[in-house]
């Protein structure tokens, strides 16, 4: 029975992930047959010299973006699931709540001040920005909710409104820095839409352990998330420590959002869409939801990137655009459910 | 003086109560009049600064001579092709956005329900970019009329999408639906931009940040015509909707027809926002900010005139800061005007969110 329960959330996306990854490597402006794609990939991973020919070169050029897309998708989907659980807010998404905007702004400020564009420095800046934006949004939304009536957790709508304000402000200042500072412009011009087109494998591999650690930390406290869903008092009664669980989850959200923004820029709605779609499959418990989010998120973003560069080939629709077009209808459907409007 | 009037008002004898009410009305009207006058003077001063001051300065005497048709080498070109059009476009676009914001605010009875938050301006922008991509026309050279028509269609479509998605009108869910539609519009813009040619792309990027850089007299004429047509209509609708401030049932009982008038007001407001967006790009938050700024000056009384004047003053000031002051501070660099209004608007939106919570707390 536990095996059967794990099929839809975990086993199926594992298979899909393999298929999507191979498709991501093989398809594009130049179509390569899957065996060549796999041979090139194994050669790259084992450090052997690449097979010759244009096909192998095309596959090699697609490896960084496919790996980055998988990492970004996992990070954002797990961050969304954690946000939704920790704040008991169905509209949790790092982009929607302004966290990605804060991360982008912090990175732009760092570059403008002359901080080197190395991966650890970028990640640190992005984490600072994410945490700052999170604190600001949460404080404003909970103040608005508290004055308005029931004290306690901020209402989902107030969080989204505060997130929209923070996103608007950070976007404006980031644009100003793009215009005024050549250092920022060189590095962030394309990145600010949200794209994996210029991803570098070294950066992705450097951040991969960080992302993995944050995902595992979130899964480790996953059972506490189940207790949290019953409310603060019941969670206490069940022997869970809600404050502790929430702190771990929010720390994971900050690290995951920062890593995703550092890799691909602000990509919205992945964190909203994946956990909600997954809940329809009725995963058993929050752990299963988090594992499933990590895998389905990777699949979604690889496919979104693949669609973005094949549908209008040789042109390209960036990831930030594709995910919004997928995510907005989901948000509108969620809004129509009565539970959301508080 | 003070005790006597309150006593007579409390006694409620017909004549003195009437006198007290008319005194209050007079004070109200006086405050409104002084707000209009103050805003007009501010606007004129800012516009004069915009035209005369800056990296290239013009004396008032020269300005008058240029206007009267004389040609002064260098100065004539800069005033007539750069400074004056920007100032005029900024005033017109600001007034249109301010009026549109006031109209939305009154109709939807929610201070956050402004055309920029609801995705109406983004819808207009998306339609303009889509039209550009479809016709592959040049940004400056294409037909301004078709461009404005595209903006109007986009604005109305975005508004309709928000209504269909939210089902309810004016509430918080409505605002979030607007934010979602705005995000979709932004994505359409970003996606469509890539199919533009390099030349169009550059112009579109500047325009999309809300910039008065590329404004031409042709576009200004169109914006002026639209404003001249729609502003009086907006004023009438704003007045007709005044009973709605007392709540929908009361308004209906008083003989207002909030649904029909409200629908007309939303369409006229979308038209104003679309006209401004087609001319100068989506200027973030002007429509949202002009209303509260005007109400602060009038002492809480909603006024379309004040809102339009405040919007105009805001855009002229933002343009002055973005174009001339940043050029002084950052060695010739110029910021798009919309960046400045966006950065200033975000904290204010947070503050309005807090205040809205407080008002709701008061009612509960």
Query: What is the assigned CATH class of domain B41-210+235-363?
Result: mainly alpha
Q: Are A58 and A28 in contact (CB under 8 A)?
A: yes
Q: How far apart are CA A25 and CA A34, in angstroms?
A: 8
The conformation of residue A144, written as its DSSP 8-state character, comes to H
Q: Are A265 and A194 in contact (CB under 8 A)?
A: yes
The conformation of residue B324, written as its DSSP 8-state character, comes to I
Calculate how close chain A gets to B31, using CA atoms only, in Å: 31
CB contact under 8 A, A147 and B180: no
Q: Which residue of B has its CA nearest to A164?
A: B179
For chain B, the average pLDDT equals 83
Closest by Cβ to A331, choosing from B117, B180, B330 = B180
Cβ neighbours of residue A211 under 8 Å, at least 6 residues apart? A71, A74, A75, A255, A256, A259
Closest CA to A309 of A192, A198, A204: A198
Q: How far apart are CA B300 and CA B131, in angstroms?
A: 41
Per-residue tens of pLDDT for chain A, all 342 residues: 455 667 777 888 888 888 898 888 888 878 888 888 888 888 887 777 777 778 888 888 888 899 999 999 999 999 999 998 888 788 889 988 999 999 999 999 998 888 877 888 889 999 999 999 999 998 888 888 776 555 566 788 888 889 989 998 998 898 888 878 777 777 776 677 788 887 888 888 899 999 999 999 999 988 888 777 777 777 777 767 777 888 899 999 999 999 999 998 888 899 998 998 888 887 778 888 999 999 999 999 999 999 888 887 667 788 888 898 888 888 888 877 755 444
Q: What is the pTM of this model?
A: 0.85
Q: Are A241 and A224 in contact (CB under 8 A)?
A: yes
User: What is residue B254's three-state secondary structure?
Assistant: coil
Residue B31 has pLDDT above 70, yes or no: yes
Q: Which residue of A has its CA nearest to B353?
A: A144
CB contact under 8 A, A165 and B173: no
Q: Tens digit of pLDDT for each residue in B250-275?
A: 777 777 777 888 889 999 999 999 99
B162 CB within 8 Å of a chain A CB: no
Cα torsion A120, A123, A127, A133: sign: positive
What are the C-alpha distances in Å from B329 to residues A49, A169, A332, B160?
53, 21, 44, 43
Peptide bond into A163 cis (omega under 30): no
User: What is residue B334's three-state secondary structure?
Assistant: coil
Q: Are A313 and B190 in contact (CB under 8 A)?
A: no
- 């030349």: which residue's tokens? B199
CB contact under 8 A, A324 and B330: no
Query: What is the assigned CATH class of domain A66-335?
Result: mainly alpha
Q: Are B343 and A169 in contact (CB under 8 A)?
A: yes
Q: Are A238 and A230 in contact (CB under 8 A)?
A: yes
Closest by Cβ to B112, choosing from A136, A161, A316 = A161
Q: Are A275 and A291 in contact (CB under 8 A)?
A: no
Window 57-116 of B: residues touching A by CB (8 A cutoff) are 112
CB contact under 8 A, A148 and B333: no
Closest CA to B333 of A79, A178, A39, A70: A178
Distance between first and last Cα of chain A = 37
For chain A, the average pLDDT equals 84
Residue A331: phi and psi, rounded to 5, are -60, -40
Closest CA to B110 of B173, B157, B161, B164: B173
For residues B325-352, give the mean pLDDT: 80
Go through A215-234 and write b for each residue having 16 or more CB atoms within 10 A of its CB, e for each that does not: bebbbebbebbbbbeeebee
Cα torsion A91, B356, B119, A136: sign: negative
Q: How far apart are CA B291 and CA B303, in angstroms?
A: 8
Residue B116 has pLDDT above 50, yes or no: yes
Indicate the length of chain B as a whole number. 364
Chain A residues with CB under 8 Å of B326 CB are 180
Residue B8 has pLDDT above 50, yes or no: no
pLDDT for position B362: 40
What are the C-alpha distances in Å from A262 to residues A19, A67, A105, A290, B296?
26, 14, 11, 22, 42
Of residues B36 and A334, more confidently modeled: B36
Window 180-209 of B: residues touching A by CB (8 A cutoff) are 180-181, 183-184, 186-188, 190-191, 194-195, 209
Q: Are A85 and A286 in contact (CB under 8 A)?
A: yes
The number of CA neighbours under 13 Å toward the Cβ of A203 is 23
pLDDT for position B276: 93
Q: How far apart are CA A49 and CA A51, in angstroms?
A: 7
Residue B156 has pLDDT above 80, yes or no: yes
Indicate the length of chain A as a whole number. 342
Percentage, residues of chain B above pLDDT 70: 88
pLDDT classification of B6: cutoffs 50, 70, 90: very low
Q: Are A95 and A286 in contact (CB under 8 A)?
A: no
Closest CA to B54 of B78, B18, B25, B70: B78
Q: How far apart are CA B66 and CA B64, in angstroms?
A: 5
Q: Angle of helix B144-166 relative to helix B172-193, nearest 10 degrees?
A: 140
pLDDT for position A260: 94
Residue B360 has pLDDT above 70, yes or no: no
CB contact under 8 A, B194 and A316: yes
pLDDT for position B144: 78
pLDDT for position B357: 67
Chain B residues with CB under 8 Å of A149 CB are 360-361, 364
Closest CA to A169 of B17, B343, B251: B343
pLDDT classification of B248: cutoffs 50, 70, 90: confident
pLDDT for position B55: 73
* Cα–Cα–Cα angle for A326, A158, A221, rounded to 5 degrees: 75
Residue B139 has pLDDT above 60, yes or no: no
Domain limits of chain A?
66-335
Calculate how close chain A gets to B284, using CA atoms only, in Å: 8
Closest by Cβ to B342, choosing from A136, A143, A169 = A169
CB contact under 8 A, A146 and B357: yes
CB contact under 8 A, B338 and A172: yes
Closest CA to B158 of B244, B281, B261, B271: B271
Number of Cβ pairs < 8 A linking chain A and chain B: 146
Q: How far apart are CA B220 and CA B207, in angstroms?
A: 15
Least confident of A229-238, B116-125, B216-225, B316-325: A229-238
Residue A99: phi and psi, rounded to 5, are -70, -45
Question: Could you tell me the two tokens for B362?
Answer: 């008061």
Q: Are A134 and A250 in contact (CB under 8 A)?
A: yes
Of residues B332 and B71, more confidently modeled: B71
User: CB count, 10 Å around CB of B60?
Assistant: 10
pLDDT classification of B13: cutoffs 50, 70, 90: low
Q: How far apart are CA A147 and CA A140, in angstroms?
A: 11
Q: Are A191 and B188 in contact (CB under 8 A)?
A: no
B328 CB within 8 Å of a chain A CB: no
Closest CA to B98 of A153, B106, A65, A189: B106
Least confident of A321-325, B120-124, B141-145: B141-145
pLDDT for position B140: 47
CB contact under 8 A, A336 and B167: yes
Question: Could you tell me the two tokens for B276?
Answer: 């401004």
What is chain B's percent helix, strand, coil content, to nearest 5?
80, 0, 20
pLDDT for position B75: 80
Chain B residues with CB under 8 Å of A315 CB are 194-195
Chain center to CA of B165: 25
B43 CB within 8 Å of a chain A CB: no
pLDDT for position A147: 63
Question: Could you tell me the two tokens for A172?
Answer: 């404006």
Domain limits of chain B?
41-210+235-363
Closest by Cβ to A318, choosing from B190, B358, B361 = B190
- 């005790």: which residue's tokens? B3
Chain A residues with CB under 8 Å of B364 CB are 148-149
Question: Could you tell me the two tokens for A30?
Answer: 């130049």
pLDDT classification of B311: cutoffs 50, 70, 90: very high
Q: Which residue of B has its CA nearest to A182?
A: B333
């Amino acid at each position: 029975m536990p095996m059967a329960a794990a099929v839809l959330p975990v086993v199926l996306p594992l298979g899909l992930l393999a298929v999507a990854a191979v498709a991501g490597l093989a398809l594009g402006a130049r179509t390569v047959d899957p065996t060549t794609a796999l041979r090139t990939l194994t050669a790259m991973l084992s450090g052997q010299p690449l097979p010759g020919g244009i096909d192998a070169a095309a596959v090699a050029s697609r490896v960084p973006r496919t790996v980055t897309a998988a990492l970004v998708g996992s990070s954002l989907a797990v961050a969304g699931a954690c946000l939704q659980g920790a704040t008991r807010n169905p509209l949790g998404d790092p982009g929607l709540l302004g966290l990605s905007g804060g991360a982008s702004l912090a990175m732009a400020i760092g570059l403008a001040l002359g901080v080197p564009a190395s991966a650890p420095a970028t990640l640190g800046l992005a984490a600072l920005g994410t945490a700052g934006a999170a604190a600001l949004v949460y404080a404003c939304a909970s103040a608005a909710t508290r004055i308005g009536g029931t004290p306690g957790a901020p209402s989902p709508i107030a969080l989204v409104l505060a997130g929209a304000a923070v996103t608007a402000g950070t976007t404006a200042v980031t644009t100003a820095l793009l215009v005024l500072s050549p250092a920022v412009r060189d590095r962030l011009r394309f990145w600010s839409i949200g794209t994996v087109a210029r991803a570098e494998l070294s950066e992705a591999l450097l951040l991969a352990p960080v992302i993995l650690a944050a995902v595992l930390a979130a899964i480790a406290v996953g059972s506490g998330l189940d207790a949290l869903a019953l409310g603060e008092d019941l969670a206490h009664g069940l022997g869970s420590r809600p404050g502790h669980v929430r702190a771990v989850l929010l720390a994971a959200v900050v690290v995951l959002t920062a890593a995703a923004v550092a890799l691909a820029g602000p990509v919205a709605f992945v964190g909203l869409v994946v956990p909600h779609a997954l809940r329809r499959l009725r995963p058993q418990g929050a752990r299963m939801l988090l594992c499933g989010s990590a895998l389905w998120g990777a699949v979604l973003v690889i496919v979104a990137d693949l669609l973005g560069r094949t549908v209008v080939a040789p042109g390209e629709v960036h990831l930030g655009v594709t995910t919004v077009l997928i995510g907005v209808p989901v948000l509108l459907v969620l809004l129509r459910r009565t539970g959301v409007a508080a | 003086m003070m005790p006597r009037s309150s006593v007579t008002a409390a006694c409620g004898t017909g004549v003195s109560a009437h006198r007290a009410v008319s005194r209050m009305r007079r004070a109200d009207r006086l405050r409104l009049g002084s707000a209009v006058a103050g805003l007009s003077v501010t606007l004129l001063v800012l516009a004069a600064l915009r035209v005369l001051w800056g990296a290239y300065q013009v004396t008032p005497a020269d300005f008058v001579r240029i206007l009267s048709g004389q040609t002064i080498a260098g100065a004539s070109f800069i005033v007539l092709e750069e400074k004056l059009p920007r100032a005029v476009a900024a005033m017109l676009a600001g007034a249109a956005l301010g009026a549109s914001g006031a109209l939305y605010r009154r109709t939807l009875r929610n201070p956050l329900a402004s055309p920029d938050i609801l995705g109406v301006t983004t819808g207009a922008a998306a339609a303009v970019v889509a039209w550009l991509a479809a016709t592959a026309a040049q940004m400056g050279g294409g037909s301004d009329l078709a461009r404005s028509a595209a903006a109007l269609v986009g604005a109305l479509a975005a508004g309709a999408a928000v209504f269909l998605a939210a089902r309810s009108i004016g509430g918080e869910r409505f605002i979030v639906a607007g934010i979602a539609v705005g995000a979709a519009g932004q994505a359409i813009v970003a996606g469509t931009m890539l199919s533009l040619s390099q030349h169009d792309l550059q112009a579109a990027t500047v325009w999309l940040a809300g910039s008065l850089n590329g404004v031409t007299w042709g576009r200004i004429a169109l914006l002026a015509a639209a404003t001249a047509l729609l502003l009086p209509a907006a004023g009438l609708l704003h007045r007709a909707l005044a009973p709605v401030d007392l709540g929908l049932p009361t308004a209906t009982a008083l003989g207002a027809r909030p649904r029909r008038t409200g629908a007309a007001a939303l369409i006229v407001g979308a038209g104003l926002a679309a006209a401004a967006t087609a001319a100068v790009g989506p200027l973030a938050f002007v429509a949202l900010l002009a209303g509260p700024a005007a109400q602060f000056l009038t002492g809480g009384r909603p006024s379309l005139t004040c809102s339009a004047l405040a919007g105009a003053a805001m855009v002229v000031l933002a343009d002055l800061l973005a174009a001339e002051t940043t050029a002084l501070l950052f060695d010739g660099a110029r910021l798009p005007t919309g960046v400045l209004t966006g950065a200033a608007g975000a904290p204010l939106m947070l503050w309005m969110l807090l205040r809205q919570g407080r008002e709701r707390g008061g009612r509960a």
